[in-house]
Amino acid sequence: MSVPDAVLIGMRETNDLFCAKAIRSRDMNALDRVYTPDAHILPPGADMIQGIADIKSFWLNAITGLDVKDASLATVSAESAGDTVVEIGRAELTLAGGQIVPVKYVVHWKRHGEAWKWHTDIWNMNQ
Amino acid sequence: MSVPDAVLIGMRETNDLFCAKAIRSRDMNALDRVYTPDAHILPPGADMIQGIADIKSFWLNAITGLDVKDASLATVSAESAGDTVVEIGRAELTLAGGQIVPVKYVVHWKRHGEAWKWHTDIWNMNQ
């Protein structure tokens, strides 16, 4: 089922916040607004991680370790699933040297308080 | 929300079929019973693929290319999302030389006809 426009706008706000605050400003506290408290992430090259505290640690290490300077996220498809949304998307990470890393992802979105947040987040690379 | 036992049984049937028929017997036609016709897969090391015909081609190349002999799938969490299910799981692939490749995945399940099938399937490795 298609996702209502108001929900897509809420999802866009969360994605923009991730790129602007977590990636560009390296403000890991912004992730409280991006992930549900008990979210799972499934990163390539590491085991799955549950809970916002450990997710913040992962991203701080990943962003500083790879020296990620910017990110963009684009929805490929979004489907309503009950009161949640399943999204397939593409991301691009820009590293310090200007290298672009293409990423594809699936996010299971949940409404949490006033915001739409990532409850399950898994991604991988094309190469 | 938790997933009813009858649904979990249906999911297990599909997962068992994937391991027994698609992996161990290399019968790609079994994938008609595993994936919805318009499913997406998001494999590491390749771009996303949509549609059962291209998904069969992918798996035939992957299974023969890596010489995968066996697979097992284990659900870590499953949540009902409307009339669908979002599952986080772990897989192990056994290669011809006996090497075990640990994989983690997220599957968005849909009921299709009489069966529960993978509508979105994304995975990656821990290393």
How high is the pLDDT of residue A33? 98
pLDDT, tens digit (0-9, with 9 covering 90-100), for A20-57 = 999 999 999 999 999 999 999 999 999 999 999 999 99
Chain B contact set for A77 (CB, 8 A):
40
Burial (CB < 10 A; 0-12, 13-18, 19+), residue B34, is: buried
Q: How confident is the model at residue B118 (pLDDT cuts 50, 70, 90)?
A: very high
Q: Tell me the CA distances in angstroms from B127 to A48, A124, B13, B34, B63, one per residue in order.
A: 12, 12, 29, 27, 19
Q: How many CB atoms lie within 10 A of CB B7?
A: 18
How high is the pLDDT of residue B127? 81
Tell me the ipTM for this assembly: 0.96
Is residue B120 within a helix (H) or strand (E), and if so which, with residue range? strand B115-125
- Residues B6, A26: Cα–Cα separation, whole Å: 45
Q: Contact, B97 vs A99, CB < 8 A? A: no
Contact A105 B122 (CB under 8 A): yes
Burial (CB < 10 A; 0-12, 13-18, 19+), residue A38, is: exposed
How high is the pLDDT of residue A58? 97
Q: Which residues make beta-bridge pairs with B108?
A: B86, B120
Interface subset of B 64-123, CB within 8 angstroms of A = 76-77, 79-84, 86, 88, 104-106, 108, 120, 122-123
Q: Contact, B17 vs B5, CB < 8 A? A: no
DSSP state of B99: -
Chain A contact set for B87 (CB, 8 A):
none
Tell how far CA B41 is from the center of its chain.
Answer: 9
**A2 reaches B (C-beta below 8 A):** no
- Residues A84, A109: Cα–Cα separation, whole Å: 6
In a mutational test of the B interface, the residue from A86, A119, A123 whose CB has the highest number of chain B CBs within 10 Å is A86
Give the mean pLDDT of A68-75: 96
Q: How confident is the model at residue A64 (pLDDT cuts 50, 70, 90)?
A: very high
